[in-house]
Structure 1
Amino acid sequence: MIRFLASRIGFGVLVLFLLSVFVFVLFYVTPSDPARIIAGDKATEALMAQIRSNLGLDRPMPEQYLRFIGHLLQGDLGFSYRTNLPVADLVLARIPITMSLVFGAVVVWLAIGIPIGIASAKRPGSLRDRAGQGFAIVGISFPTFVLGMLALYTLYFLPTKIGLTLFPPSGYVPFTENPLQWAWHLILPWITLALVTSAVYARLTRGQMLDVLGQDYVRTARAKGLTERRVTYVHAFRSAMPPLVTQLGIDIGMLLGGVIVIEQVFGLQGVGALAVSSVAMQDRPVIIAIVLLGGVFVVVSNLVVDTLYALLDSRVRTANQ
């Protein structure tokens, strides 16, 4: 198990190294001039030369990359070109919002998608199965921003017209400040993100459960007199979990890098909103930090997935020994 984890950690470090090289080449070797972005179009050549010297852009490329990596390893992400604030502070201030949105939505979509998938797989071809498949098709086909605006219209705008305030339209309250207000402000974003994503998990769970429920060991468990509930949840679902865990790790890693659409619709100033504004203003240090942060989230989530995979399936551990 230790050797298995060590190999996965080593691969993750390699991925992050390659990502840092890609980001450096993309943002520092391309023809665009950071000094021009900082100084503006009317700046003199002497001013831009001074800015390039301050940023180290007049040094050889290998030296610039080593300097870039050295600052990253120290947690120094530089300063924003537009606000002149530390990039690390800007990003860290947004992470709790995005994490609150993502992990809350994960709980909701797992609570919706997995039971629907299991119920559909237990009686394939039944009315319940058709309803579950219909939910999956509609959920996968529905654009997130449309569902978000529909939720705002039906659950905020219409009740407000008759004097009721069921949910706030936007905003974020830190969990440490008021847990109830924190949840109240995030219910609509959670539901919007979860309804779309739960459709994927319902379909994936159904497919995996159909495959597992037809296996010989499941029929043997039934022949021994085990209850259908125990057969379904203890024997079959455990075997169906690894692909779900893999998909979950991918989704969490990607979403933590920025839930751009949901944050824009509901006015949440998370990592996704910061990414949009930084791209619009060409704030290169902030964009670099968000890209690298997304890579870290993906690598860490996949490392957790690999660990869970090894715990669920002993064949994974033995194959790597």
Structure 2
Amino acid sequence: MLRFLVRRVLGAIVILLLISAVTYFLFFALPADPAALSCGKNCNPQTLALIRKNLGLDEPVPVQYWQYMIGIFLGRNMTIGHCSAPCFGYSFASQQPVWSTLMNRYPTTVTLAAMGALIFLVIGVGLGLISAARQGTAFDKIASAVSLTGQSVQIYFIGPLAIYLFADTLGWLSRGHDPDWTHDPVGSITGMILPAMVMSVIFWSNYSRQTRSLMVEQLSEDHVRTARAKGMTSRYVFMRYALRGAMGPIITIFGMDLSSVFGGAIITEYTFGLHGLGQLAVSAVTQTDLPLEMGVMLFGAAAIVIANIIVDACYAVIDPRIRLS
């Protein structure tokens, strides 16, 4: 198990290095010049050169990238001041450290993604299991219809409807606000319930259908029929044999969907006016803010990679054969 995890961690480091290199060099392929944008309309060559130096854009691109990567681990001295490790530089637009900006924004996105994932796994897998156990019944048909409907809607469509119905009209839930885990942990949870539920609709609809399909397939396997022939109860066979066989593919699908979960979190943040990494990423792109773009990209990629390693570990526990791959 340890060797399996070490291989996954080493692979994750390589992936993050490749992502950082591609993102950094693609930035300089853009037609926009951040120094020219900061300089304004009445810009002269001397002012432009000074701005480029202050932004650290006067060095060759490979040198800039090397200094950037060194700064992440060791810190670096910049014209705006010393940047302690982990140094992701200073935002071109706000002149604030990128790392502190990320630390202020990440709780919203991580909370939304975690709560949304928990909701769609519980609802989706639960509905799928019940539908598989009650194949052909009215519940199975209704659950399938609801799942198909859920997959066809979009967050920006059901988000405003959910706010109007559950927050403004019925008053059951909050409209959604950024979490403050230090001063109001309970409010942090209640304030994210509605956004997380809206974000989870598309996902649990898919997981419900996937789980039902996998369970029906498992229930028709030879080893399940053999277990039943030996006199084991239907509930024991369902939970002990069929469910365990179906959980492996479900975990794999969840690992593949992690990037989609963060993508859904970005759209949900804009729908509910939350201040997370998604809103920060869009702001960085529109302002051609390289340090902020890199910070959000690496932070999000690292979160997804770490989550995938955890998913792989869970899969290896369920199916020991995976450890040998």
TM-score under structure 2 length normalisation: 0.90
Deviations 1:113-138 (A, max 9, x none): 11111122223333222112112111
Report the Cα offset of residue 280 of structure 1. Answer: 2.8
| Residue 26 (structure 1) aligned with residue 37 (structure 2) | no
Q: Find the counterpart in structure 2 of residue 227 from structure 1.
A: 233
Q: Find the counterpart in structure 1 of residue 90 from structure 2.
A: 79
1:81-100 paired onto structure 2 within 5 Å: 81-100=92-111
Q: Find the counterpart in structure 2 of residue 54 from structure 1.
A: 54
Runs of 4+ in 1 over 6 A off after TM superposition: none
Aligned partners of 2:108 and 2:276 also within 8 Å: yes
Name the stretch that deviates more: 18-27 or 55-64. Answer: 55-64
Report the Cα offset of residue 257 of structure 1. Answer: 6.5
The partner residue of 1:293 within 265, 278, 299 is: 299
| Residue 9 (structure 1) aligned with residue 9 (structure 2) | yes
Report the Cα offset of residue 175 of structure 1. Answer: 2.7
Sequence identity (%): 34
Report the Cα offset of residue 47 of structure 1. Answer: 1.5
Q: Find the counterpart in structure 2 of residue 42 from structure 1.
A: 42
Aligned partners of 1:260 and 1:276 also within 8 Å: no
Aligned partners of 2:25 and 2:61 also within 8 Å: no
Q: Find the counterpart in structure 1 of residue 250 from structure 2.
A: 244
Q: Find the counterpart in structure 2 of residue 148 from structure 1.
A: 159
The partner residue of 1:218 within 221, 224, 239 is: 224
Report the Cα offset of residue 41 of structure 1. Answer: 3.1
Q: Find the counterpart in structure 2 of residue 162 from structure 1.
A: none
1:244 counterpart SS class: helix
Q: Which runs of 5+ in 1 are unaligned?
A: 160-164
Report the Cα offset of residue 70 of structure 1. Answer: 1.0
Q: Which runs of 5+ in 2 are unaligned?
A: 74-84
Q: Find the counterpart in structure 2 of residue 261 from structure 1.
A: 267
**Partners of 1:31 and 1:183 in 2: how far apart?**
43
Report the Cα offset of residue 31 of structure 1. Answer: 4.1
TM-score under structure 1 length normalisation: 0.91
Report the Cα offset of residue 156 of structure 1. Answer: 2.1
Q: 1:181 to 1:43 in 2, by over 3 A?
A: same
